[in-house]
Structure 1
Amino acid sequence: MTKKLSLPVSEDDHAQGNARAAVTLVEYGDYQCPTCGVAYPIVKQLQKHFGDRLRFVHRNFPLTMHRYSEPAAETAEFAASEGKFWEMHDALYENQSEMSGDLFPELASELGLSPQKLEEALDGSNFTALIEKDIASGEASGVHGTPTFFLNGLRHDAPFDYETLKAAITAATEK
């Protein structure tokens, strides 16, 4: 049985691309997950290939087995509050091999964000409720690990290599 996205995509989501795109690709991801690190350039390649025909949405799904995944998600949400979600999203994946507590203020500084404000946000768990909302919607949608993708609201249970996702997105654009 194909699982459906329990929480429809809305303005509250972090989305890139045309809101009226033929296909919306939602990823539940964990910034420290090595498999999500593999998926990151594949998604970028798909975005380039499909252009305005694809909207990409990222939702946080930090796994407890990854020590820095929760603070990484909070760091991305902090950046979002400052209008720089996608810059931080990309920086976290592009620096995944350096993931540590020291990386977050360093990336904030590189993006022109206040490392002190970030530290205060992390200490205060300011963005925990947003992340918990993503986790709850993921669990309700049948997400058990990362990355988990949804195409136009239906879980993509096939492999997420470039060619397989490209074919699935192409098929979805023809529906």
Structure 2
Amino acid sequence: MKKQYLVITSGLFLVFLFVLGGYFYKTQQTKKLGFLAQKQTEIFVRKHSPTLGSDKAKVFLVEFMDPACETCSAFYPFVKKLMADHPGQIKLVLRYAPFHDGADYFVRILEAASKQGKYMETLEIMYQSQPYWASHHNPQPQLVWQFLPRVGLDLEKLKNDMNDPEIDKIIAQDLADAKTLNVMKTPGFFVNGKPLVTFGDRELQQLIESEIAEQYPR
């Protein structure tokens, strides 16, 4: 009985150490990223990064996204609602982390669409039509083209602009920044440099509202 008690106690102690270690690691990561946000702001926001929201906003929501990511698509309406609930206070910055096979193809479409001033419209139609072309078992990227005319794009120009070598540089830079920031999956969120440590819509809302309260004291 005593031996069994010692085994249980030892097991609980190991669990405690594991949880404590995880908490310590997350705390250190948050501090490290906070330092990067202060000293190297460009690692979060590059000149090429698409943005949505007021330039006067004090809360920057940086999202590392993959156009073929189902969770990114699911979170997009929630992010837009958060922005609508706090008008003028949040600026969304989109960064690329095309981790799915062939996802860089859709990044090319987005970047080409931006040359026609249709970036956000194209992103939204991609997310809306994602179930038709982004099956993880049998992705069919060519199917996205049947939805793009709804945005009013010049498709021939789009196809030409997709081959711009600058897009390769953009993808490479964003992936390098994602690696530095330890983004392992999408979407990866940062609010004024603070990472969303525990993933979830409620947690994201709490992090954003906490930063809003700090930046816009009443």
- TM-score normalised according to structure 2 size: 0.71
1:80 and 2:114 matched = yes
Deviations 1:4-36 (A, max 9, x none): 256142543211111221211010001111221
From the superposition, tell whether residues 22 and 122 of structure 1 become closer, same or farther in structure 2 (CA, over 3 Å): closer
1:22 and 2:62 matched = no
Aligned residues: 172
Once the two structures are overlaid, the 10-residue window that deviates more, 124-133 or 10-19, is 124-133
One-letter code of the match for 1:169? I
2:79 is matched with: 43
2:203 is matched with: 164
What's the offset of the Cα at 1:120? 3.0
Deviations 1:118-166 (A, max 9, x none): 33344565622212211111111111111100000121112231x3222
Once the two structures are overlaid, the 10-residue window that deviates more, 72-81 or 42-51, is 42-51
1:119 is aligned, of 145, 159, 166, to 159
Report the Cα distance in structure 1 between the residues aligned to 2:109 and 2:144, rounded to whole angstroms.
Answer: 7
Alignment of 1:52-67 (within 5 A): 52-63=88-99, 66-67=100-101
Alignment of 1:101-112 (within 5 A): 101-112=141-152
SS in structure 2 of the partner of residue 159 of structure 1: coil
Say which one has the larger Rg: 2
Percent sequence identity over aligned pairs? 27
One-letter code of the match for 2:168? T
What's the offset of the Cα at 1:38? 1.9
One-letter code of the match for 1:140? T
The 8 Å contact of residues 129 and 147 in structure 2, kept in 1 or not, is answered as: no
What's the offset of the Cα at 1:73? 1.0
1:174 and 2:213 matched = yes
SS in structure 1 of the partner of residue 125 of structure 2: helix
Displaced runs of 4 or more, over 6 A: none
- TM-score normalised according to structure 1 size: 0.87
What is the RMSD computed on CA atoms of the aligned residues? 2.0
1:31 is aligned, of 64, 67, 73, to 67
Unaligned runs of 5+ in 1: none
Report the Cα distance in structure 2 between the residues aligned to 1:56 and 1:26, rounded to whole angstroms.
Answer: 6
Unaligned runs of 5+ in 2: 1-28, 134-139
1:93 is aligned, of 127, 134, 156, to 127
Q: Which has the higher helix share?
A: 2
One-letter code of the match for 2:192? N
The 8 Å contact of residues 88 and 107 in structure 1, kept in 2 or not, is answered as: no
SS in structure 1 of the partner of residue 86 of structure 2: helix
